[in-house]
């Protein structure tokens, strides 16, 4: 089964937005990640980490600039421009990764956020 890249990206953003800013049913491409959805640069880094596991690609490792990502649409365009190439050490897959891998990536992101919050205190 082929994975719809846009749906995976939107679902990942929605999952993290729901943790940060409260429950929402959906996110739109024109929504600002920081100003409208309450995300920080650390949340964006977490999204990228989860998407690397989910999609097997990291367009930012190929030189794409994360500083230009302001909206969900920007994020979608960066991943489209990434061409679906596998991330380092990972083969391209037609199926979504195992749910355990997704949970591990989310847990790593949560740990990073907690450590950063402690350091800011």
pLDDT per residue over 7-65, tens digit each? 999 999 999 999 998 889 999 999 999 999 999 999 999 999 999 999 988 888 878 88
Task: Name all domains of the chain by residue range, CATH numbers in brackets.
Answer: 5-120 (1.10.1200.10)
Q: What is the CA radius of gyration of the chain?
A: 14
Check: CB of residue 89 under 8 Å from CB of residue 53: no
pLDDT tens for 64-104 read 888 889 999 999 999 998 754 444 333 434 444 555 565 66
Check: CB of residue 68 under 8 Å from CB of residue 21: no
Please choose, from the candidates 45, 47, 53, 48, the residue with its C-alpha nearest in 3D space to the C-alpha of residue 98. 53
Query: Distance of CA 21 to CAs 24, 27, 53, 58, Å?
Result: 8, 12, 24, 25
């Amino acid at each position: 089964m082929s994975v719809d890249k846009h749906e995976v990206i939107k679902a990942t953003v929605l999952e993290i937005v729901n943790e940060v800013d409260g429950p929402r049913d959906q996110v739109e491409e024109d929504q600002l990640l920081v100003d409208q959805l309450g995300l920080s640069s650390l949340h964006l880094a977490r999204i990228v980490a989860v998407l690397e596991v989910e999609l097997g690609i990291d367009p930012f490792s190929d030189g794409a600039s994360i500083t230009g990502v302001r909206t969900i649409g920007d994020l979608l365009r960066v991943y489209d421009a990434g061409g679906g190439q596998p991330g380092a050490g990972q083969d391209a897959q037609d199926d979504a990764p195992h749910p355990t891998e997704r949970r591990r990536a989310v847990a790593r992101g949560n740990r990073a956020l907690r450590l950063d919050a402690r350091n800011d205190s």
